[in-house]
Structure 1
Amino acid sequence: MDERPPSRRQPYASRVWPPRQQETTHGPDAASGDRPPPAGDLALHPTAPAAPDAAALAADALPPSARVYGTPEAPPPPKIPPGLARALVGVAVFLVVGGLIAGLGYLVLDRVRAATAPPVNAVDRLAGVTYPVPPGWHEGKVAPVTAFTSVVTHDGDAVVMARPGDAVQPSGLRQAAQELTDIYSRLLLHGDKVTVVEDGGLTVNGRTAYIRALRAEYHDVVNRPSYLRVMVLGGGEVGAVVVGLVQPDDPRLRADIDAMMRGLR
């Protein structure tokens, strides 16, 4: 009967790979650790194991597949033939230059088209008038003031509106223009200081008209000066009223409003 004590199998959870280098725990040199014996004592220890070299340690650190098939290496980068590389560069340059030429041509054609395009007119059938729409202006659907039947605007800082009016005789146009200017000044300007900058009659497409314009200033630092221009058109069975408003006041937009009123027909 075997009376040797049973040995315990090492659990799988404690096994590691690669295996650790076994240490010698017995013999007369155990206290000195892994230090190799002196050169003079090699003859006295013929069975002492030789120190592992770096190549052997590196081989032990590789997985089993690497020992069979060798260490995997990254594939070399693809090489583009010189002729193909020059062709690709030429194509890229051609595309860039072609895009620039196409963009420049479109810009020139757009400018030419804008210069040769027929003028746009706003037609107000209820008021019986037609007036030109300058570049930068566009027709609106609903006027911001009741009773006006057509409107054109400029980026929210200027507006021109038209509506039917009473058939006013030429002698009464000035009074009608003054009354309407006072009404629209209180409705639209609310200025702290209002100055009359234009007041006079003119002929528009063979019809007598009268224009009165105001400039409003404000004491606060938020509101900038505003410009209001009212034209009353007579000389027909049905009159017309045209109102232009600019806020803030701008000489260029003033000129656009004057062109629209003088181009009325």
Structure 2
Amino acid sequence: MLVLLVVVGGGVGVWWFLSDQGGDGPGATQTEGLTIEDSESGISYTLPEGWEEFASEDLIEAFTSSASVSTETGGASVFAFSGEAMADEEMSMSTSTIAGENSEYFYPYAEDRQILLSEPAEVDGQEAYRFTWEVSKADDEPMYGHIVHILTDDNRSVFLMGIVYPDDPALRTEIDAVLTSVTLL
């Protein structure tokens, strides 16, 4: 149930953040390479210059932190959330399920789904899983996504997800850099 709430909340949040083409969304503050310390989820991550962090009171309940950037042609967002820990063998399935459900919510009726990366990883000595994907359809630009799922010592699963729409190589690089920068507090 928690995963479903996160998925729905995540989809709505991504739409909200990416649809803000002006970059002046509620609670937005300009950042210059700011490191976000998300004490609620227990992670930190670094934003590229020009990204905007959203104030905690402006986040959808499922999120613990979020940031975005807008360009003339689209935008990118990252958001963190957490839930109950999943067994090691469930990480691959749960990570791809959360990615797929968020994609379907934000980018409905995709005709093509491509898994670009699906592999175990490690974040600060903890087991983690990385998953990247792209969805597309004939009458629309593709969407790129990247998620990192971390199992913590205190029996939680922590997620940091980034989405780029429409897919753009420069924003894809920024999303990947943000997710690669994630560390535990």
Shared fold by TM > 0.5? yes
**Residues 1:172 and 2:75 aligned together:** no
Contact 1:226-1:247 within 8 A present in 2 as well? yes
**1:195 offset after TM fit, Å?**
1.4
Residue of structure 2 in register with 1:125 after alignment: 39
Residue of structure 2 in register with 1:241 after alignment: 159
2:131 to 208, 212, 222: 212
Contact 1:170-1:235 within 8 A present in 2 as well? no
Residue of structure 2 in register with 1:192 after alignment: 111
Contact 1:167-1:236 within 8 A present in 2 as well? no
1:160 to 62, 70, 78: 78
Residue of structure 2 in register with 1:231 after alignment: 148
Change in 2 beyond 3 A, CA 1:216/1:174: same
Matches within 5 A, 1:1-265: 119-141=33-55, 142-143=58-59, 146-155=61-70, 157-190=75-108, 191-220=110-139, 223-237=140-154, 238-265=156-183
**1:192 offset after TM fit, Å?**
2.3
CA distance in 1, matches of 2:42, 2:126: 13
The residue type paired with residue 187 of structure 1 is Y
Contact 2:69-2:75 within 8 A present in 1 as well? yes
Contact 2:95-2:147 within 8 A present in 1 as well? yes
**1:174 offset after TM fit, Å?**
0.9
Unaligned runs of 5+ in 1: 1-117
The residue type paired with residue 147 of structure 1 is A
CA distance in 2, matches of 1:119, 1:249: 22
**1:146 offset after TM fit, Å?**
4.9
- RCO higher in 1 or 2 (8 Å CA, sep ≥ 6)? 2
Residue of structure 2 in register with 1:24 after alignment: none
CA distance in 2, matches of 1:205, 1:253: 25
**1:227 offset after TM fit, Å?**
0.6
Instruction: Report the aligned-residue RMSD.
Output: 1.9
Contact 1:201-1:211 within 8 A present in 2 as well? yes
CA distance in 2, matches of 1:261, 1:136: 16
The residue type paired with residue 168 of structure 1 is M
The residue type paired with residue 180 of structure 1 is I
The residue type paired with residue 255 of structure 1 is T
Structure that is richer in helix per residue: 1
Residue of structure 2 in register with 1:103 after alignment: none
Indicate the SS of the match to 1:154: strand
Contact 2:147-2:160 within 8 A present in 1 as well? yes
Indicate the SS of the match to 2:131: strand
TM-score by structure 2 length?
Answer: 0.71
Indicate the SS of the match to 1:224: strand
Runs of 4+ in 1 over 4 A off after TM superposition: none
Residue of structure 2 in register with 1:79 after alignment: none
Aligned residue pair count: 145
Contact 1:151-1:161 within 8 A present in 2 as well? yes
CA distance in 2, matches of 1:263, 1:235: 17
